[in-house]
Chains A and B, each alone.
Chain A
Amino acid sequence: MTKKQGGRPRAHSIGSVFKYLAINIVAVLWLIPVYAMIINGFKGDLAVTSTPVLVPPTSPTLSPYQAVISALTRPIFNSLIVAVLGSIIATVLGSMGAYFFYSLSTSWRKTLTVLSDAGFAVIAMGTFIPYQSTIIPLTKLIVSLNALDTYVGLILAMLVFYVPTAALLMSIFFAVVPKSVVEAARIDSASELKILFRVVLPLALPGFISTFIFVLIQTWNNFFIPLVLTTTPNMRLVPVAIQAYTGGYGTLYNESFAVAVLGSLVPLVIFVFLGRYFIRGLMALGAGKGV
Chain B
Amino acid sequence: MTKISVVNVDKTFRKRGKEVHALRGVNLEIGDTESFGILGPSGAGKTTLMRIIAGLEVPTRGEVYFDEELVSADGAIVVPPQERNIGMVFQTWALYPNMTAYDNIAFPLRNTKQKAGDIARRVEEVAEKLEIGHILDRRPSEISGGQQQRVALARALVKSPSVLLLDEPFSNLDAKVRDSARALVRKIQRDLRITTVLVSHDPADIFANSERVGVVFDGRLVQVGPPSEVYNSPVSIGVAKLIGDINDFECVSEGNTLRYGGFTLPLDRNMSGKVVVGIRPENLRVGRGPNEEADWVFLGKAVVQVSSYMGGVYKILVSTPDHQDETLALISERPYQVGEEVNVYARKGGIMVFP
Contact indicator A202/B81 (Cβ below 8 Å): no
A190 vs B58: C-alpha distance in the bound complex, in angstroms? 20
Query: Do the beta carbons of A187 and B97 come within 8 Å of each other?
Result: no
Question: Chain A: interface secondary structure?
Answer: helix
Closest chain A CB from B165 CB (angstroms): 9
Which residues of chain B are within 8 angstroms of A186 by Cβ–Cβ distance? 56, 80-82
Tell me whether A190 and B107 are in contact in the complex, defined as CB-CB below 8 angstroms, given that A178-B92, A202-B98 are known contacts.
Answer: yes
CB neighbours (8 Å) of B82 from chain A are 186-189
Distance between B58 CB and nearest chain A CB, rounded to angstroms: 4
A115 located at the interface, meaning its Cβ lies under 8 Å from any Cβ of chain B in the complex = no
- Inter-chain contacts of A184 with B (CB < 8 A): 88, 90, 94-96, 155
Q: Does B126 contact A (CB under 8 A)?
A: no
A291 within 8 A of B: yes
B80, closest chain A residue (CB): A186
Give chain A interface residues in 255-291, CB to chain B under 8 Å. 290-291
Question: CB within 8 A of A190: which of B76, B97, B98, B111?
Answer: B111
| A194 contact set on B, CB distance < 8 A | 111
A199 on the B face (CB < 8 A)? yes
* Residues of the A chain whose Cβ atoms lie less than 8 Å from the Cβ of B88: 184, 187
Q: With A108-B57, A187-B88 as given contacts, are A181 and B111 in contact (CB-CB < 8 Å)? A: no
CA distance A122 to B77 in the complex (A): 29
Chain B 61-91, CB within 8 Å of chain A: the 1/0 string?
0000000000000001100111000111011
Bound together, the chains give a CA A194 to CA B108 distance in angstroms of: 12
Task: Say whether A203 faces chain B, with CB atoms less than 8 Å apart.
Answer: yes
Q: Are A178's CB and B58's CB within 8 A? A: no
Bound-state CA distance A198–B107 (Å) is 10
A191 contacts the other chain (Cβ, under 8 Å)?
yes
Task: Give the complex CA separation of A291 and B140 in angstroms.
Answer: 10
Across the interface, name the chain A residue whose C-beta is closest to B54: A187
A185 within 8 A of B: yes
B97–A180 contact, CB under 8 A?
Answer: no
By the criterion CB–CB under 8 Å, are A189 and B97 in contact?
no
Find chain A residues with CB under 8 A from B76 CB.
108
A180 touches B77 (CB 8 A): no
Report whether A180 and B112 are in contact in the complex, using a CB–CB cutoff of 8 Å. no
Chain A contacts of B97 at CB under 8 A? Answer: 202-203, 291
The docked-state distance in angstroms from the alpha carbon of A203 to that of B141 is 13
Chain B residue contacts of A185, Cβ below 8 A: 96, 107
Q: Which residues of B contact A188 (CB under 8 A)?
A: 82, 107-108, 111, 155, 159
8 Å CB contact of B98 from A180, A189, A203, A290: A203
A117 interface contact, C-beta 8 A: no
Q: Can you name the residue of chain A whose Cβ is closest to the Cβ of B82?
A: A189
- Check A187–B96 contact: CB distance below 8 A: no
Against A, the Cβ 8 Å flags (1 = close, 0 = not) of B87-120 are: 1101110111111000000011001100000000
CB–CB B108/A189 < 8 A = yes
Give min CB distance, A117 to chain B, whole Å: 14
Cα of A183 to Cα of B56 in the assembled complex, Å: 7
Q: A137–B159 Cα gap in the complex (Å)?
A: 54
Q: How would residues 110 to 144 of chain A score, 1 for a CB under 8 Å from any chain B CB and 0 otherwise?
A: 00000000000000000000000000000000000
Which A residues from 188 to 245 make CB contacts under 8 A with B?
A: 188-191, 194, 198-199, 202-203
Known: A178-B92, A180-B94, A188-B107. 5 other contacts (CB 8 A): A108-B58, A180-B90, A180-B92, A291-B92, A291-B140
Which are the 10 A-B pairs with shortest beta-carbon distances? A202-B98, A108-B58, A188-B108, A180-B94, A184-B94, A189-B82, A189-B111, A180-B90, A181-B94, A291-B97
B-binding residues in A (CB < 8 A): 108, 178, 180-181, 183-191, 194, 198-199, 202-203, 290-291
Pairs across A and B, CB under 8 Å, 14 listed: A178-B94, A180-B92, A181-B96, A183-B81, A184-B96, A185-B96, A186-B81, A187-B56, A189-B112, A199-B98, A203-B97, A203-B98, A290-B92, A291-B92
